[in-house]
Structure formats: structure tokens, C-alpha cells
Amino acid sequence: MKALILVAGGVEDMEFYYPFYRLKEAGIPVDVAGPEKGKVHGKHGYPVDINESLSSIHADDYDLLILPGGKSPETVRLYSRALEVTRQMMEAGKCVAAICHGGQVLVSADVLKGRRATCYKAIRDDLKAAGATYVDEEVVVDGNLITSRVPDDLPAFFREINNMCAAHIS
Amino acid sequence: MKALILVAGGVEDMEFYYPFYRLKEAGIPVDVAGPEKGKVHGKHGYPVDINESLSSIHADDYDLLILPGGKSPETVRLYSRALEVTRQMMEAGKCVAAICHGGQVLVSADVLKGRRATCYKAIRDDLKAAGATYVDEEVVVDGNLITSRVPDDLPAFFREINNMCAAHIS
Amino acid sequence: MKALILVAGGVEDMEFYYPFYRLKEAGIPVDVAGPEKGKVHGKHGYPVDINESLSSIHADDYDLLILPGGKSPETVRLYSRALEVTRQMMEAGKCVAAICHGGQVLVSADVLKGRRATCYKAIRDDLKAAGATYVDEEVVVDGNLITSRVPDDLPAFFREINNMCAAHIS
Amino acid sequence: MKALILVAGGVEDMEFYYPFYRLKEAGIPVDVAGPEKGKVHGKHGYPVDINESLSSIHADDYDLLILPGGKSPETVRLYSRALEVTRQMMEAGKCVAAICHGGQVLVSADVLKGRRATCYKAIRDDLKAAGATYVDEEVVVDGNLITSRVPDDLPAFFREINNMCAAHIS
Amino acid sequence: MKALILVAGGVEDMEFYYPFYRLKEAGIPVDVAGPEKGKVHGKHGYPVDINESLSSIHADDYDLLILPGGKSPETVRLYSRALEVTRQMMEAGKCVAAICHGGQVLVSADVLKGRRATCYKAIRDDLKAAGATYVDEEVVVDGNLITSRVPDDLPAFFREINNMCAAHIS
Amino acid sequence: MKALILVAGGVEDMEFYYPFYRLKEAGIPVDVAGPEKGKVHGKHGYPVDINESLSSIHADDYDLLILPGGKSPETVRLYSRALEVTRQMMEAGKCVAAICHGGQVLVSADVLKGRRATCYKAIRDDLKAAGATYVDEEVVVDGNLITSRVPDDLPAFFREINNMCAAHIS
């Protein structure tokens, strides 16, 4: 099993690092893809190392996609390859998990039609406009799509990721 | 003639103050409505005085609506009255002008179906999902709707506001 | 008609950008001169592009001089050419407009003897020492010299610039 | 099973939140004790809610003690009750886990004599002076004491906490 | 012997604290007068305790006046009593020492006519306009007036204060 | 006579600059040694020029050692040469003066056994663990060792340095 996290400068630090460390704790390999390889900083100042370029990722290489929030999704969604990979992983039924503003990538990838989902409330109307049914709960699971609202939802968010990838994460 | 600007904390300072001062220069009265009366700060730290509450504004009182960007629209769009007033002014054919993330209020007010519009490029997919045709130009005029992308578009943005309200602004 | 704005790092952002965008809105070409070509930042963090060096400007090229405030005038006033150009434009009867700490450049250029003027109140004694009659009003016009006190005076400030350059700005 | 985390203003945000969320994910109740009930901020600006006062905690109520780093331990170690509780949990053979500057609390509690331990390298000499054998590894387990060095050690740190409290955390 | 330092928020921290601590080291009592009793912060964030109000000080109580720089003098010079006390101590031949922007208070107190003095170079033209002969040296002594330019001049600045008040400071 | 100050980035600005300027005022030459020659910044942002590398200093060259606090000692104590020089100057009976977190260097140099000393209270337990008797006074003199607690102790701190080096500082 292998996971992919899509980030850019200004990512919500906790929403990146909790899943990143959590997967490492479970022994799952993780790629961090961003606009270019190297270092960016989260909105609270934490450094984040990017080891893959957003324009060279392949959906086939991953079983789990994580889309953290903050200011990062407004950059990630500008990369067509990031959107393709999101679409392909959704279509392949792989686990796709977005939290907070991470939902903006889902809107751009156009994968929300008919889906139940949640997100940071300030962008709920964008998810609705993109065809989702917005639900105000700490975590919403609809098929292979897992969504949450804010950093404090991270425990529930990862519990569901855990459930969905049960064979791999402990 | 009377203008209305909708703001909240984190507004893009220049996108608030250029129109605000510009209207004052032209002698046009302006109301600044926000979550509550009092002072908030722009994302660059400028104080902004709010003299009307978002929940007590009436579309009938105004001839021109300005929606500045920054982080402010993510708060403004959560107020149903702000969305109603936007919708009513759009329907009444009054001048509605949004710049940058100001377009998020247009999405929530659901007034973009079939409209040509622009915005900060990071939210272009949200405008498209809401039914707009996105155009990458410094200012886009479609009927009574004027939209721009970034602070550097302010001169073009206000030139079109000027044109539309020609009898009043000089 | 062509305008010149003298700036340096730490300029009061609004006092630079309001006139800068306002002139662009009116279609007036503007040169921004600073210590060296390139980018500086205002005291609130806005980037400001400098397209002319303070040591290569000529009074003959301009019809309007604008001196914004903030920390910038303490740097601008150290450049003898900036002071010469200010003096020559004053003597030529061209419109010279200073706001806030912009008055420090007027002191150094020694163009205040016998003039009525205003400025940020913390430097009013410097203007008096330089021979000016200090007036506490939002805008003071004395011949070709226009002065204001703070960012909130910008509408009145530009209204008078407008009046003085009436043939050109609309 | 119940866990206790000792914090104060300036705590290393990730070293607090990773264990805090991780325990919540596992369904373990957690008390956060600090100088007084209410809110403090981590060194990166995250808010941290304190629900117990450092002077009213009892070792008997907890099975796991976590000591995050940052600037927080320099405050926590000034509270005699915090040191007593640390000592009592160490003596009772309960799991005590310190990361980064968290080791400063261990020094003050005088529980390091003859123990193998690690910490942020800048305080390694303090641990040695307090009787510990310093080891430069991502996580060091000596009996019921688990220690790590920096935020990037969090996955290894929690894997060992997990091992030690195996019946409870999954 | 007793010293007086005039400050306000934004004072250059080192230019306040070096003289303040230096006088304490020498056992000289010091009053710190500002807009109102209480705490302000220097431009680098140091807290400064004000124990006298600028409007209740008397020249007769002091033998030495120190005027530190930073943003503080732009506030201090707005208090007529601060200017009177400066004038009275100058006229009484007591030691008056100003560094950096501290010279702005000397301009407002109108005590520079015919004096040799230095200051932060960005305000040298203000001192000249007020009648001083500007000298670019680390410390300039003219009768009872001692002036310096920047924090790095503090050793020379205090050496001359020391010389002038030789019976008292060691 | 010659003095040595050991610093690194994050030094408590006042605790560096007061002694540094104070020695310059007295005409004593001072070397500032840090991780590498060049510029670092104090925790309040002041620039500090380093003219010697920590790995090339010799105890024989100096008569007085000053160890300022802040975050700097956590870096200085990682350089074995810095610790050797501290030890050698202690053994040679030369004046060694540490303030605030400066005591961390004394712990690492292992020169505190049987000594009376003070420090910033948050690290008092580290000094005790290293064999010192902690005393809560503004300045503590034990033989050639002078220690203080916080910036406000600087006058007392330097008065004792002065006493100890009486022939040289005035």
C-alpha cells in the first residue's frame, strides 16, 4: 500500500502532518507531491518536504489520496495533473480523503456530483454548486470518499481512513 | 446614489480602500456592512470601520454593490441576508461589482448562471461550477455585473463601475 | 500629461497605491522613482515596482509630483536629485502633492518658506521650522502645492489634485 | 485507560497535537493540564485548550503521561505538583513519554538517574547532569520511560507508546 | 543627581535601555516619563515601564535629560510640557542628551539655534531647518548638549554624558 | 585586558548589547565569537556581528568571558571548543559572567560543582543537577564566577563585573 498527499505552500500544517506522521507510524510509504520538489511552508510556519512534482504523479502508484486544507488547495487545483489523478483514483474506487479546503480540489476535479460530503463551512456553497450534498458532520463517508471539516476532526477523519484501508493501517 | 460594500475581517485592504476612497472622492455616500458594527482589520493590517450589520441591510437602499476579496468573502457568504441583498440587486439590474475572491459571494448568492465573469484564478472552477463562463481579463462586464481578478485590476475595475454609474461618479 | 511618484521601502501602502491606481484609472502615465529600479515593500507589506532611479529623473518630464508618506520620505530625502526635481517642479508651478510624512521631502527641498501646508501632525514642527504655516485641515492648497495629513484624507487630497490638473484627470 | 498531557504556552504545537489527536482517534480519554484552565497558544500559534490545572492533578487518575516540548516545559517544571505526578507515575511503572524539551520536566522531577534517554540535543547535557545516559536515537525505551528528540520522531515515539499501552490503543 | 528619560511607544529599545540600565549601574535615580503611567513597548518589543506622566514633570527635579530615538520622539514632541522641560533644562545649562530621532524633540523645543549637533541622518535636514549645524560624528558635544546618531554610538554617547556629569556617574 | 562574548542566533539582545556597548564605553576590546563569522540576529531582531568562530578561540587571549542568554546558549553549548574555553577560563580564575540562559553553557562546561550561582528560574533545576547551589538574587558572585537572572539584573551584573575587573573598567 502507498499513499499520496497533495500540498503547496500555505497548507494547514496539522492537516498535513497528522496524516503524514500517522501513515509513517503505521509503516505506510507516503509521497508528498507539490508544484515542485523541495521545501514549502505551512500557514503556521512548519516546513514541508515535497518529494514529487504535481506534474509527474500517476494514479496507478497509489492506493490512498489525502487532500489537506489551508491555502494549499487553491494552488493544487491549478495543476491539471493533480485533478486527473484525483479523478482517476475516485473512478478506481481508491480511498480519497479531503479535509477543510481540501474540498476545493474535489470541486475542480469534478468528482462530487451526487456525493454526500463535508468541508470547511466557508466553501460549502462551492461543493453544492459542484453537485455535492453538503452534510455538517465531523466526517462523512460516501463510498470511497471521506471528507472532514477542520483540524479538530482529524481523529474521526483518520479513523475512517483506517477503516477503509483496514488491511494496511493499524 | 448610494453604495454598499460587504466586508469582514481579512478583507484585501486595497480592494476595500480603493473603492471606498474612490467613492468618497466622487462624493457618493457609502455604507460598509459586516458581521457586526465596529472595527475589523484587513489582511495587511489596515483597520476597516463597519457602520452597518450584514443582517440589517436592504437592497432598496443602494444603487451599487461592491464585493472586495481577500479572506473576507468566506465570512460574508455565510450571512443569508448578504446573499439576498446581492441577489435582489442583481435582479433589480443595479451595478454589482466583485473583485478577486469577491466572486465567492456571487457563487453563494447563485447569480452566475449564464454570466460571463472573472475572479482570482484560484477560485475560477467554483465560478464555473456555479454556471459562469470564466474569462481571464482584467475586467469583465456582463450586463450589470462587473468582475475583476486582482488588486492591480482596480483601475480597470473602477473605470467600468464609473461607466455604469456615469451620471453619479466623476 | 505625466506623473511622478517618489518612493522607497516602507512607503505607506495606501498613500502610494491610491494615487497610483487613481492615475491609471484616469489614463495618466506614471513613473515610480526610487533608490534603484526593482521591487520594494510598503510598511503593510504590499510590493511596489520602481521603474525609475531617483538619480536619473528630470523635472521636465513630469507635470505632477506625488510624495506619499510612511517611512519612505526619510529615504527619499537623502537623494539630492529627488530634492532638485521637487524644487524645480515647485518653481515651474507644476502640481506638487505631499501627504503625511511626504512633507519631509518638502522640508529637505526647502520649498516651504511662506507656504500654507499640512502634514502628519508628528512632523508639523519640522514644517514650521522650515518656514511653513501649518494648518490642521484634511487638504491644504497653496498655489501649486497640495498637502494632506493621513490616508483617510486621500479622497480630499485627490479631489484637489483633480481640480488642479482638470484638463487631464477625470 | 486515561492519558494526561502537561502543557503551557509556547508548547511545540505538533508535539502536543499529534499525541492528543492520536489518542482521540484511538478512543482514549485525555486530560490536558496547564498552569490554569483556559486557552494557551503553541509556539506556532495553534490554540490549546487546558481542562485541568497543574496544581489539581493526581497520578492515580492516569495510565499514560505525555510531556511535549517547545517552550512549555520551562513553565511546567516550575509547578511542584507536575513534578510529583511525574515522579509518582514513573515509580508506579506507568508509561511516561517525553519528547524534545519535554525532558526538562524529567530533569526537574529527578527521575533520570541510571536511565537511558534521548531529547532535543541542545538539552542533552542537562539530562546527563541529571544522571541519564543520553542516546541519539529517534526513540529510546527504558522500562516505562519513552523519549524522543524532535517532531519528526513522532511516528516512532507513538509506535512505542502504542506498544507499551497495547491493550488500549489501536 | 537625578535623571529623566522621555519615552513613548515605539522607542528604540536599546537607546532607552542602555542609558536606563547604565544609570542604574551607576546608582543614579531615573524617572521614565511618557504619555501616561504604565507600560509601553519598544519597536523591538521590549516592555518599558513609565513611572511619570509627561504632563506632570518639572525641570527642577532633574540634572540630566535623555531623549532616545525610534518612533517615540514623534509622540513625545506633541506634549507641550515635554518641550517646556527640555527648554528649561537647556536654559539652565543642565546636561541634555539626544540620540537618533531624539533630535526631533530638540527641533520642537526650539533649542537648536546656533548649536552644533548630530542625529539620525534621515532627519538631519529638520535639525538644519531648526537652526543647527549638523555634524556627522558619533557624538557631538556643544556646551550642555550631547547628541549621537544611532545605537552603535551609545558607548561614545554615554562616555560624554559620563564626562559631563563626572561627579556623579562612575 | 580583552573580553570575549559567546553568542549564536536568538541571543537575548539586551544581554548581548548591554555588556558589549558597556565594554566599548570603557575602552575594553571585545571579541564576539559564534558558530561562524558573520551576522546573526537576536531574538528581538537586532543584528549581531560575529568576528570570531567558536572553533578558533583560545582562553589565553581573554581576561573576561561573558555568556548572554536567550536561545543562544542552546547553540553555543554544542561547540566543544566553547566549553573548553569556558572551563579553562574558570580554572585560570579569570572573570566568567553568565546571565539568564547563559547558565546552560556553564552546565555543559561542567564548572558548577560546589558553586553558588543564579540563572533564569526555568533552568534552575539544570544548574542544581550540575552541582550548583541555586540562589535567587539579582547577582551572585562566587570566586571568579558572576551570575544573574534576567535583563533587569544587568546593572547589578555589570557592577560586579566592574568590581572584579576594577583596574580595567571605569
Distance from the C43 Cα atom to the nearest Cα atom in chain B, whole angstroms? 9
Instruction: Convert the pLDDT of each residue in F22-78 to its tens digit.
Output: 999 999 999 999 999 999 999 999 999 999 999 999 999 999 999 999 999 999 999
Size of interface D-F (CB pairs under 8 A): 42
Q: Which of C68-77, C141-150, E10-19, F159-168 has the lowest mean pLDDT?
A: F159-168
Chain D contact present for A170, CB below 8 A: yes
Q: What is the pLDDT of residue A170?
A: 64
| Residue whose C-alpha is closest to residue F140's, from F105, F168, F112 | F112
pLDDT tens digits for range A3-46? 999 999 999 999 999 999 999 999 999 999 999 999 999 999 99
- The domain that holds B90 is classified in CATH as 3.40.50.880
pLDDT by residue (tens digit) across E37-71? Answer: 999 999 999 999 999 999 999 999 999 999 999 99
Q: Would you call F49 an interface residue with chain E, using a CB distance cutoff of 8 Å?
A: no
| Cα–Cα distance, B55 to C17 (Å, whole number) | 32
Q: First vs last Cα of chain F: how many Å apart?
A: 13
| Helix/strand/coil for A3 | strand
Kindly state whether residue A169 falls inside one of the protein's structural domains: no
Burial of residue A167 (CB within 10 Å: 0-12, 13-18, 19+) is exposed
List the single residue in B with minimal CA-CA distance to C46: B44
Domain annotation covers residue E70: yes
Rounded Cα distance between F40 and F9, Å, is 5
Res F84: pLDDT: 98
Interface test with B, best of A126, A128, A134, A150 (most B CBs within 10 A): A126
- Domain presence at residue A29: yes
**What's the whole-number average pLDDT of chain F?**
97
The torsion angles phi and psi of C43, rounded to 5 degrees, stand at -70, -15
Q: Does B29 touch chain C (CB under 8 A)?
A: no
Q: Is residue A169 over pLDDT 90?
A: no
Substitution target in C126, C127, C128, C150 with the highest count of E β-carbons within 10 Å is C126
> A12 in contact with B at a CB cutoff of 8 Å?
no
Q: Does B46 touch chain C (CB under 8 A)?
A: yes
Closest by alpha carbon to F68, among F104, F44, F35?
A: F104
Residue E45 distance to chain F (closest CA, Å): 7
Q: Is residue B132 part of a domain?
A: yes
Residue E84 class from Cβ within 10 Å (0-12 exposed, 13-18 middle, 19+ buried)?
A: middle
Number of domains in chain C: 1
Helices (H), chain F: 13-25, 73-76, 80-91, 103-109, 124-129, 154-164
Chains F and D touch (3+ CB pairs under 8 A): yes
β-pairing, D47-50 with C145-148? unpaired
pLDDT confidence band for C166 (50 / 70 / 90)? confident
CA distances from B156 to B30, B141, B161, E145 (A): 20, 11, 9, 56
* pLDDT confidence band for D170 (50 / 70 / 90): low
Annotated catalytic, A41?
A: no
Label residue F167 by pLDDT band (50, 70, 90). confident
Task: Decide: F and A in contact? Rule: 3+ Cβ pairs under 8 Å.
Answer: no
Active site residues of E: 101
- pLDDT score recorded for residue B96: 98
Whether the CB of F121 is below 8 Å from some CB of chain D: the reply is yes
The pLDDT confidence band at residue F166, using thresholds 50, 70 and 90, is confident
- Chain E residues with CB under 8 Å of F151 CB are 17
Length of chain C: 170
Q: What is the mean pLDDT of residues B5-31?
A: 98
Does the distance separating the beta carbons of A46 and D155 come in below 8 Å? no
Is beta strand F95-99 parallel, antiparallel or unpaired with respect to F30-34?
A: unpaired
The answer to whether residue E105 sits within a structural domain is yes
| pLDDT of C143 | 97
Chain E: nearest CA to C163, how far in angstroms? 31
Partner-chain contact C121 E78, CB within 8 Å: yes
- Hey, which residues of F are catalytic here? 101
Choose, out of E11, E14, E169, the residue to mutate when testing the contact with F (most F CBs < 10 Å): E14
Q: Which residues contact B104 (CB under 8 A, 6 or more apart)?
A: A123, A125, A126, B73, B74, B77, B123, B126
Rounded Cα–Cα distance for residues E82 and F18 (Å) = 27
Residue reference for cell 546593572: F155
Supply the pLDDT for residue E170.
63
| For residue C170, pLDDT beyond 70 | no
**Least Cα separation, residue D78 to chain F (angstroms):** 7
> How many angstroms separate the CA atoms of C84 and E71, rounded?
28
Could you tell me if F60 lies within 8 Å of chain E, comparing CB atoms? Answer: no
CA distance B13 to chain C (A): 9
Tell me the Cα Rg of chain F.
Answer: 14
Beta bridge partners of E87: none
The string of pLDDT tens digits covering residues A103-131 is 999 999 999 999 999 999 999 999 999 99
**Out of A18, A45, A156, whose CB is closest to D18?**
A18
ipTM at complex level: 0.95
Per residue in F83-134, pLDDT (tens digit) is 999 999 999 999 999 999 999 999 999 999 999 999 999 999 999 999 999 9
Chain F environment of E17 (Cβ under 8 Å):
14, 18, 151
Q: Does A13 touch chain D (CB under 8 A)?
A: yes
Range of the domain at F18: 3-164
Positive or negative torsion for Cα F140, F141, F146, F152? positive
